[in-house]
Amino acid sequence: MPIPLIIDTDPGVDDAFALALAAASPEVELIGVTTVFGNVSLENTTRNALRLLALLGRDDVPVGVGASRPLVHPQPHLSSAHGSDGLSGYAGTLPEPTRGPDARDAVTLLRELLDAADRPVTVVPIGPLTNIALLLAAHPHVKAKIGRLVVMGGGVTGGNVTATAEFNVWSDPEAARRVLVEEDVPTTLVPMDLTRRCAVAGGWLAELAGTSEVAAALVGLTPDYLATYRRFLGWDGMAVHDAVAVAEAVRPGILTSTAFPVDVDCSFGPNRGALVVDRRLEVDAPKELDIALDADLDGLRAFLFDRLGALGARQ
Ligand code: RIB
Ligand code: CA
């Protein structure tokens, strides 16, 4: 039986690869997508999610529109590594969706899908955690239906938007603390320390583009993002952060995780939005998260290529 999967997302180039991986993987049944502000505005992330699902032949998947801003404090302005439209300026190359978002907002859609599920659902937040924090605050009963959260976010040894904060957590630190620290839902956190190590090379992308028209369209969304990551990484590659998190949802254990207590810095100091991981040997903490810190990197890239390279066959 496939694992029911819901992805909460702010597409986003790497979000696009994550959605494609979910659509290409028979181990999971993508039952819903919810959108959140983040890489670009909620209007753009929602339009991008609808267009990506149209590209993937998945107009059957409902899209619930979520939060347009963080829980408490505004997200500081940042020019997006994903281009002004969130997809390197190429959102317009994707098929126009034949449907709009679901009549239900993100929290309502999440609640109804979870209530209706006949087996535990994996929820994969790959943007700011605002929608998930709102869901758990408004409908705590749904925690019984969430098999696990697999969250892309945080940086254990450093950040990407500041020296210590990773973008998803930095965008709404209060929501991240609510979900990662205060709530008691089984959670695997996939931090940027690992996702950066899973970056794919320009040649990998070029080869993937040759496998199908859908894969070519996906790779066609990468130019701005790839250019940014060439600078970040210092070599011809780009991080597919969110696809690494979805890979863990599709194939549990593909990443190697270790349990640590965490906190999130919600101060207004230089470390606002930083993930604080307590790696002391003797610590008595109320909650620990499984934090993915290692993987067979070549094996993971081969898995991603194998799945994304079969996209054309599944359309
Ligand atoms: O820091 C990486 C995360 O921020 C990814 O989810 C990317 O899409 C951006 O949202
Ligand atoms: Ca994202």
Pinpoint the alpha helices (H) of 36-79: 42-55
Distance CA 50, CA 96 (A): 8
The count of domains in the chain is 1
What domain range is 124 assigned to? Answer: 3-314
Radius of gyration of the chain (CA): 18
What is the total residue count of the chain? 315
- The residue type found at 28 is V
Tens of pLDDT, residue by residue over 54-94, are 999 999 999 999 999 999 999 888 877 888 899 999 999 99
User: Phi, psi at residue 221, to the nearest 5°?
Assistant: -90, 0
The CATH number linked to 88 is 3.90.245.10
Q: Is 38 in the pocket of ligand 1 (CB under 6 A)?
A: yes
- Coil, strand or helix at 280: coil
Query: What is residue 314's predicted lDDT score, i.e. its pLDDT?
Result: 53
Q: What percent of the chain has pLDDT over 70?
A: 99
Per-residue pLDDT tens digits for 154-169: 999 999 999 999 999 9
Running DSSP on this structure, what letter comes out for residue 92?
G
Residue 187 forms beta bridges with which residues? 149
Say yes or no: CB of residue 166 within 6 Å of ligand 1: yes
CA atoms within 13 A on the CB side of 158: 5
Q: What angle do CA 307, 23, 37 make, to 5 degrees?
A: 115
Q: For the whole model, what pTM was predicted?
A: 0.97
Q: What mean pLDDT is reported for the chain?
A: 96
Ligand 1 atom nearest residue 160's Cα:
1
Strands annotated E in the chain: 3-9, 28-35, 63-65, 121-125, 146-152, 187-190, 200-201, 237-238, 255-260, 262-264, 275-277, 289-295
Atom of ligand 1 nearest to the CA of 11: 8
pLDDT exceeds 60 at position 315: no
